[in-house]
A and B are shown apart, each in its own frame.
Chain A
Amino acid sequence: MEIDLDFGPLIASWRFLLGGLGLTLALSALTVLCSLVLGGAVGLARCYGPRWLRWPLVFYIDSMRAIPVLVVLVWGYFALPLVSGVTLPPFWAALAALSVHIAAYVAEIVRAGIESVRPGQTRAALALGMSRAEAVCQVVLPQALVRMLPAFGSILSITIKDTAIASVIAVPEYLNCSQTLAGQSFRPIEVWFVAMAVYFVILFPVTRAVDIAYARLASLGRS
């Protein structure tokens, strides 16, 4: 079947789409930052924090692994304001919901990284007279961090993909702009082809870099 393609309406709206792309990238960057900080704190607290703190943290992590990010997003945007009385604008609600969700995955990566350093090393460091904090900061974490790096790269590509879900609560990021344009221009095929190309061009280098990082760094973290 012959389909005539007309990219005119898309080219005419390039500023609109570029704005959406900017928002996608900004939301991704902020989400990665927030979830690394939050997830890092949760992961460390789970491994080294007080015992009573552990089960609520495990409960949080496992719950986030069980609930779809869309549900967290929609609940955070529509239901949370009814409980808390605070209404966040869509962008900030999306940032908060995505960060809370992705931080759970970061926490798991941090825990796996820390646990991958054999406990004998910590015991040896303690036996040499290092304090607990010194053993963690100077022996465990430097090795664990190297092993976490490729997984953090995966978090980056997962985050960029997940920001598309923010379109559901009307954050005008790239997917949302594409939806708008697909409706207005009556050229949905062109709009969605371009959207696929745009996301692919952003994400492909990230996943390639992660694959290379896995291959390169895997040997470095070995002990």
Chain B
Amino acid sequence: MTLDWAIVWENAGALARGAEITVLLAVATMLLAIPGGVLLALMRLSPVRPLALASAGFTEFFRNLPLLLVIYAAYYILPLTTGISFSPFATALVALALNVSAYNGETFRAGIQSIRKGQSEAALALGMSRAQVMREVVLPQAARRIAPVLASTWVSLFKDTSLVSVIAVGELAYTAMRIRSQSFRVLEMLTAMAAIYWALGYPQAKLTDWLYRRFGVRE
């Protein structure tokens, strides 16, 4: 077997562009999914029952579906039901944002609920308004617990963007597999793809571990 690693260098530009789209997609998804998660958590914790139920239903639905299925379903169902033709990138963004919002909603809810009720009650008794209690007592503490979990979700999201290659979004996995099928340098391209993901993902995983050590709750 002869290996020709030159193919990787020849396509370095395309791979870099693919990696760029991977990062862009992950960032855009998170930017949508953080407000989405906040909204879901607020709905879930609100005393208005229909809102809480709708949030729980949404969360459970997307937590219990394979992401790949959500991507395919979005690809086929979105244009047929809305009549708008979405670009593959936009379709991927919708599918990923739905999925990650559900997880973020749970993260925010758990973070807020982890702050004992006695603290908000004490703050209310001291004459703080509900908004003040949230802003000055609950959220600063909850944020420390939410940060590491959010980082884990980010690492998962970063890896999950590879799944949108099935609907031809030109991110890293799609680009590498396209060059593979055009050049027939299977081993070289797939190894390069794995190596790039590793190089991007490894520091993120380590950083997440550090966040857990720094902010993790110890009992």
Interface residues of chain A, those whose CB is within 8 Å of chain B, are 1, 3, 62-63, 65-72, 74-75, 78-79, 82-83, 157, 160-165, 167-168, 175, 178-179, 182, 188-189, 192-193, 195-196, 199-200, 203-204, 207
Min CB–CB distance A9 → chain B (angstroms) = 15
Q: Which residues of A contact B76 (CB under 8 A)?
A: 182, 188-189, 192
Interface 0/1 of B50-68, CB less than 8 Å to A: 0000000000110111111
Min CB–CB distance B135 → chain A (angstroms) = 30
Q: Which residues of A contact B34 (CB under 8 A)?
A: none
Indicate the member of B66, B155, B165, B173 with the most A CB atoms within 10 Å.
Answer: B66
Q: Does residue B73 face the partner (Cβ distance < 8 Å to A)?
A: yes
Q: Does residue B142 face the partner (Cβ distance < 8 Å to A)?
A: no
Contact flag A66-B198 (CB < 8 Å), given A74-B177, A161-B66: yes
In whole angstroms, how far apart are the Cα atoms of A182 and B75 in the complex?
A: 12
**Contact of A68 with B159 in the complex, beta carbons under 8 Å:** yes
Can you list 19 contacts pairing A with B, beta carbon distance less than 8 Å? A63-B198, A67-B197, A68-B160, A68-B161, A68-B163, A68-B173, A70-B163, A79-B186, A82-B187, A165-B66, A165-B163, A179-B72, A188-B80, A189-B80, A193-B73, A200-B64, A200-B65, A207-B63, A207-B64
In whole angstroms, how far apart are the Cα atoms of A2 and B82 in the complex?
A: 10
Contact of A82 among B1, B63, B194, B198 (CB under 8 A): B1
**Contact of A69 with B159 in the complex, beta carbons under 8 Å:** yes
B107-122 residues at the A interface, CB under 8 angstroms: none
In whole angstroms, how far apart are the Cα atoms of A178 and B1 in the complex?
A: 38
In whole angstroms, how far apart are the Cα atoms of A182 and B77 in the complex?
A: 11
B195-219 residues at the A interface, CB under 8 angstroms: 197-198, 200-202, 204-206
Contact flag A70-B162 (CB < 8 Å), given A161-B66, A189-B76, A207-B63: yes
Chain A interface helix/strand/loop/mixed: helix
Q: Which residues of B contact A200 (CB under 8 A)?
A: 61, 64-65
Q: Does residue B69 face the partner (Cβ distance < 8 Å to A)?
A: yes
Contact of A168 among B81, B166, B202 (CB under 8 A): B166
In whole angstroms, how far apart are the Cα atoms of A175 and B149 in the complex?
A: 29
Q: Does residue B137 face the partner (Cβ distance < 8 Å to A)?
A: no
**Contact of B66 with A62 in the complex, beta carbons under 8 Å:** no
Using CB atoms, name the residue of chain A closest to B188: A79
**Contact of A78 with B65 in the complex, beta carbons under 8 Å:** no
In whole angstroms, how far apart are the Cα atoms of A181 and B197 in the complex?
A: 33
Contact flag A74-B190 (CB < 8 Å), given A65-B155, A200-B65: yes
Q: Which residues of A contact B194 (CB under 8 A)?
A: 67, 71-72, 75
Q: Does residue B193 face the partner (Cβ distance < 8 Å to A)?
A: yes
Using CB atoms, name the residue of chain B closest to A1: B83
Chain B interface helix/strand/loop/mixed: helix
**Contact of B81 with A204 in the complex, beta carbons under 8 Å:** no
Using CB atoms, name the residue of chain A closest to B180: A78
Min CB–CB distance A182 → chain B (angstroms) = 7
Min CB–CB distance B197 → chain A (angstroms) = 5
Using CB atoms, name the residue of chain A closest to B159: A68
Q: Does residue B191 face the partner (Cβ distance < 8 Å to A)?
A: yes
Contact flag A75-B73 (CB < 8 Å), given A66-B202, A196-B65, A200-B64: no
Indicate the member of A67, A162, A165, A199 with the most B CB atoms within 10 Å.
Answer: A67
Min CB–CB distance B111 → chain A (angstroms) = 16
**Contact of B66 with A70 in the complex, beta carbons under 8 Å:** no
Interface 0/1 of B155-194, CB less than 8 Å to A: 1000111110110000001000100100000110011011
Contact of B64 among A72, A82, A193, A203 (CB under 8 A): A203
**Contact of A164 with B173 in the complex, beta carbons under 8 Å:** no
Indicate the member of A63, A83, A164 with the most B CB atoms within 10 Å.
Answer: A164
Q: Which residues of A contact B162 (CB under 8 A)?
A: 68, 70-71
Q: Which residues of A contact B77 (CB under 8 A)?
A: 188-189, 192-193
